[in-house]
Chain A
């Protein structure tokens, strides 16, 4: 289902989507520890609908573009993946078509790290935050901002049904340089 064409290096990348949310086991959802806010919303369709695990409720913006979703953490966290659920069949002109992701310490120094274009998506859209360098597998940041720059059919406002943010699982054994992989090690590594 993925249709990827990398015309420009950073811009114009069209990403695919999938019907079911499938995420690696060594990632965990980090959104619970963050403060979520949006640039504008219609009463009854606020930021809560983005986090309620209900694909029927959605956030509807109510202002000028770009529409922003701000995710602020209390400490720097490593993030690897952002997943959004959008549905063209239900939302049509409210479906985002161009999304960009910024990261930084706060509103004053956000820097764009990714931009994608979507084409009539219906399902979960995976946006990986890793760069090409192995050193850039994670984005280590205080704040993430997801900006909806434009919608399908030139719609003004946007509907997003769910957003999830993923980062790596911490080492279950603290103070270790590397995590254990083999069963012998893991069996002895903790007392329960």
Chain B
């Protein structure tokens, strides 16, 4: 709701800086979010680290750290000490746990991570009206907290989310809700008697989630547990768009019994699903019944001790995609012994380590390394939606659009209703100029979720590919409206404004994107291009340099930085930059071309010709290469060669402006010949 101030004061009473932040890890996480939204980077980083220290399985906090560019090696956070920490927590909460705190947490985490989470919270808050929990004292405060649900779950280990793993494609954890309901009944008294403020907090947090869940059912039970399940369920449900509960049921049943580690795969998927779900407003309640049914079958009371499993599953889920709903571990019912906790925790942490490293590296744009790390994941985890789309993103950053597109399409097969990463997919298709696939993707996304910014981004990309920049702009503006914290939508708006030559608004859009995410190198690049067009070369160089600092391996940025330097007449540096760009990516012809350009302006024609010959091998159908060669030959008065190359350039159908330029050049070529003839 953007009431960041109130949220902050609720979490952190002004005069007690180190007082117990409610809900420990989650509270820190929320505080970190608030700080990052208000540009207090250091405190944000500090808070996220705290959150991770208290609760090492809080993947969302790690993700935020990566986005801020301040993450350390994943092992630092997901190491052995973390495992011990989890174990401790687990033991502490074993008695109180009973219900799916974890699921709650996951839910909240999920929502936090979703782009739509902000949207979600207000909706959730609205829904709390029906909730029983309103009465709970803490509720009001929490309600005011920004994304209250997110904060709620610091005490993760408490809840067993019996949910089964494989909840459908999204891997949402369906059963947790059901289970919770079941469990709640017997446990209600327990829960309620457990008067720790945390539980109350949790319940409050869960309350909003409840909406998703069958409200009637919730009312019966203390309800907190449901919220997460509910959220999860809703996500699931949403994802499925009312898919067969039967399918879920069987899944749940099957999964219910399995142990946590298996969830991980599920959670990954579910996270994706969750995302879309959270954005949607709890679609069908019908599934709830379904859940309950399943719940009955599979659920048994091992909640209490399943904390570990839950815990692991949840983090896993989180790890996967923000939304990891924490595939509730099926309540195995057995009381976990301490060693099992530890082993389970280490397993989870191992996975989190890999994922964390991969994510961190891709945020630092060291994409090749990130790809190597993702390859280390076990096959089952690799093939989940989240990981596949991260791989796709990594290829996108490496400008390998074909690979990227294939991975994204695999990701979509794995979790067809997930929206995360689909905006990048639409950009990849835009680059590949695949208008059919792009329009199909856009239609699918809109039908999946009309209120998600990614769908409108895809739509806008579609129109932009058709050169209908005005409609594209409208679509991107809609995306911005839907979620003003979605930096990419702002950047795309900026690109469209520039295409429409409306530079002022373009600058505004790019700057808003940067305000949201200062490490969004696309906006820096966009600003650099804008200034290049306006011939403000110093600004242009500055912005390209910023983009370069953020993404130091991108050959495209390097080549543009070189162009800007060349425009500023710093030709030495420009050439050096071009060399680096050429080395960075052998397949990129642009730096070679720019290098030739620079050499021409430095009048070293022979070298330029050499470079262009090389380029000719690589891209034989590029008319500008021949045109430039023709120009060079003309300068050196080798008219026949010039004629030849101009002719070739014309054959390759350049644009109208170039045709005019080339033809003019040809005309001028003839003049010296005529003079010779007449002599």
For window 16-75 of A, CB contacts with B under 8 Å fall at 24-28, 33
Are A26 and B656 neighbours in the complex by a CB distance under 8 Å? yes
- Which residues on the A side are within 8 Å of B373 (C-beta)? none
Closest A residue to B461 by beta carbon equals: A192
Answer whether A177 and B588 are a contact pair too, CB < 8 Å, given A25-B467, A184-B618, A185-B624. no
Answer whether A135 and B654 are a contact pair too, CB < 8 Å, given A185-B622, A191-B556. no
Distance (whole angstroms) from the CB of B158 to the closest CB of chain A: 45
Picked from B624, B628, B666, the residue with its CB within 8 Å of the CB of A181 is B624
- Which residues on the B side are within 8 Å of A188 (C-beta)? 399, 555-556, 587-590
Q: Does residue A190 face the partner (Cβ distance < 8 Å to B)?
A: yes
Q: How many residues of A contact B (CB 8 A)?
A: 37
Interface residue stretch chosen among A87-95, A145-153, A155-163, A168-176: A168-176
Are A181 and B653 neighbours in the complex by a CB distance under 8 Å? yes
Closest B residue to A25 by beta carbon equals: B467
Complex CA–CA separation, A169 to B499 (angstroms)? 10
For window 561-593 of B, CB contacts with A under 8 Å fall at 563, 567, 587-590, 593
- Which residues on the A side are within 8 Å of B661 (C-beta)? 178
Are A134 and B660 neighbours in the complex by a CB distance under 8 Å? yes
Closest A residue to B521 by beta carbon equals: A191
Are A178 and B624 neighbours in the complex by a CB distance under 8 Å? yes
- Which residues on the A side are within 8 Å of B108 (C-beta)? none
Are B652 and A134 neighbours in the complex by a CB distance under 8 Å? no
Contact with A along B163-197 (1 / 0, CB 8 A): 00000000000000000000000000000000000
Closest A residue to B588 by beta carbon equals: A188
Picked from A28, A80, A179, the residue with its CB within 8 Å of the CB of B624 is A179
Are A175 and B567 neighbours in the complex by a CB distance under 8 Å? yes
Q: Does residue A180 face the partner (Cβ distance < 8 Å to B)?
A: yes
Q: Does residue A183 face the partner (Cβ distance < 8 Å to B)?
A: yes
Complex CA–CA separation, A151 to B432 (angstroms)? 50
Complex CA–CA separation, A170 to B654 (angstroms)? 13
- Which residues on the A side are within 8 Å of B487 (C-beta)? none
Are B557 and A191 neighbours in the complex by a CB distance under 8 Å? yes
- Which residues on the A side are within 8 Å of B621 (C-beta)? 181-182
Among A24, A133, A174, A186, chain B packs the most CB atoms within 10 A around the CB of A174
Are A187 and B431 neighbours in the complex by a CB distance under 8 Å? yes
Contact with B along A113-139 (1 / 0, CB 8 A): 000000000000000000001110110
Complex CA–CA separation, A187 to B431 (angstroms)? 6
Q: Does residue A154 face the partner (Cβ distance < 8 Å to B)?
A: no
Closest A residue to B399 by beta carbon equals: A188
Closest B residue to A27 by beta carbon equals: B656
Picked from A25, A174, A182, the residue with its CB within 8 Å of the CB of B619 is A182
- Which residues on the A side are within 8 Å of B674 (C-beta)? none
Are B655 and A179 neighbours in the complex by a CB distance under 8 Å? yes
Complex CA–CA separation, A25 to B399 (angstroms)? 27
- Which residues on the B side are within 8 Å of A28 (C-beta)? 467
Picked from A178, A183, A192, the residue with its CB within 8 Å of the CB of B658 is A178
Among A27, A135, A177, chain B packs the most CB atoms within 10 A around the CB of A177
Complex CA–CA separation, A78 to B660 (angstroms)? 12
Q: Does residue A189 face the partner (Cβ distance < 8 Å to B)?
A: yes
- Which residues on the A side are within 8 Å of B521 (C-beta)? 191
Picked from B529, B587, B624, the residue with its CB within 8 Å of the CB of A180 is B624
- Which residues on the A side are within 8 Å of B597 (C-beta)? 176-177
Q: Does residue B532 face the partner (Cβ distance < 8 Å to A)?
A: yes
- Which residues on the A side are within 8 Å of B427 (C-beta)? 192
Closest B residue to A174 by beta carbon equals: B533
Complex CA–CA separation, A186 to B567 (angstroms)? 21
Closest B residue to A181 by beta carbon equals: B623
Picked from A135, A189, A191, the residue with its CB within 8 Å of the CB of B667 is A135
Closest A residue to B532 by beta carbon equals: A174
Are B522 and A177 neighbours in the complex by a CB distance under 8 Å? no
Complex CA–CA separation, A133 to B521 (angstroms)? 45
Answer whether A175 and B467 are a contact pair too, CB < 8 Å, given A182-B622, A192-B495. no
Q: Does residue B627 face the partner (Cβ distance < 8 Å to A)?
A: yes
- Which residues on the A side are within 8 Å of B501 (C-beta)? 33, 170
- Which residues on the B side are within 8 Å of A184 (C-beta)? 587, 589, 618-619, 622
Among B495, B529, B653, B660, chain A packs the most CB atoms within 10 A around the CB of B660
- Which residues on the A side are within 8 Å of B399 (C-beta)? 187-188
Picked from B401, B624, B656, the residue with its CB within 8 Å of the CB of A168 is B656
Complex CA–CA separation, A174 to B560 (angstroms)? 10
Closest A residue to B529 by beta carbon equals: A174
Among A24, A171, A175, chain B packs the most CB atoms within 10 A around the CB of A175
Picked from A26, A177, A180, A190, the residue with its CB within 8 Å of the CB of B622 is A180
- Which residues on the B side are within 8 Å of A189 (C-beta)? 556, 590
Are B663 and A185 neighbours in the complex by a CB distance under 8 Å? no
Complex CA–CA separation, A172 to B664 (angstroms)? 22
Are B655 and A169 neighbours in the complex by a CB distance under 8 Å? yes
Picked from B588, B649, B655, B666, the residue with its CB within 8 Å of the CB of A26 is B655
Q: Does residue B430 face the partner (Cβ distance < 8 Å to A)?
A: yes
Complex CA–CA separation, A177 to B665 (angstroms)? 13
For window 275-318 of B, CB contacts with A under 8 Å fall at none
Are A179 and B654 neighbours in the complex by a CB distance under 8 Å? yes
- Which residues on the A side are within 8 Å of B529 (C-beta)? 174, 190
Are B431 and A178 neighbours in the complex by a CB distance under 8 Å? no
Are B664 and A135 neighbours in the complex by a CB distance under 8 Å? yes
Complex CA–CA separation, A3 to B589 (angstroms)? 47
Distance (whole angstroms) from the CB of B663 to the closest CB of chain A: 3
Answer whether A192 and B430 are a contact pair too, CB < 8 Å, given A169-B655, A181-B654, A184-B618. yes
Q: Does residue B433 face the partner (Cβ distance < 8 Å to A)?
A: yes
- Which residues on the A side are within 8 Å of B652 (C-beta)? 181-182
Are A178 and B627 neighbours in the complex by a CB distance under 8 Å? yes
Are A175 and B532 neighbours in the complex by a CB distance under 8 Å? yes
Complex CA–CA separation, A33 to B500 (angstroms)? 10
Q: Does residue B554 face the partner (Cβ distance < 8 Å to A)?
A: yes
Among B593, B623, B657, chain A packs the most CB atoms within 10 A around the CB of B657
Complex CA–CA separation, A26 to B653 (angstroms)? 12
Complex CA–CA separation, A170 to B469 (angstroms)? 14
- Which residues on the B side are within 8 Å of A183 (C-beta)? 433
- Which residues on the B side are within 8 Å of A133 (C-beta)? 667
Q: Does residue B221 face the partner (Cβ distance < 8 Å to A)?
A: no
Are A177 and B664 neighbours in the complex by a CB distance under 8 Å? no
Distance (whole angstroms) from the CB of B601 to the closest CB of chain A: 10
Answer whether A24 and B619 are a contact pair too, CB < 8 Å, given A134-B663, A178-B624. no
Could you list which residues of chain B lie within 8 angstroms of chain A, going by C-beta atoms?
A: 399, 401, 427, 430-433, 461, 467, 492, 495, 499, 501, 521-522, 525, 529, 532-533, 554-557, 563, 567, 587-590, 593, 597, 618-619, 621-624, 627-628, 631, 649, 652-664, 666-667
Which 10 pairs between the two chains have the least Cβ-Cβ distance? A134-B663, A178-B624, A182-B622, A174-B533, A137-B660, A179-B655, A188-B588, A184-B619, A135-B664, A178-B627
Cβ contacts A to B, 19 pairs, < 8 Å:
A25-B467, A134-B663, A135-B667, A168-B656, A169-B655, A174-B529, A175-B533, A178-B661, A179-B654, A181-B623, A181-B624, A181-B654, A181-B655, A184-B587, A184-B589, A184-B618, A185-B622, A187-B432, A188-B588
Other A-B pairs, 8, CB within 8 Å; known A78-B657, A187-B399: A134-B667, A135-B667, A168-B655, A171-B655, A176-B597, A179-B624, A187-B431, A188-B555
Could you list which residues of chain A lie within 8 angstroms of chain B, going by C-beta atoms?
A: 24-28, 33, 78, 80, 133-135, 137-138, 168-172, 174-192
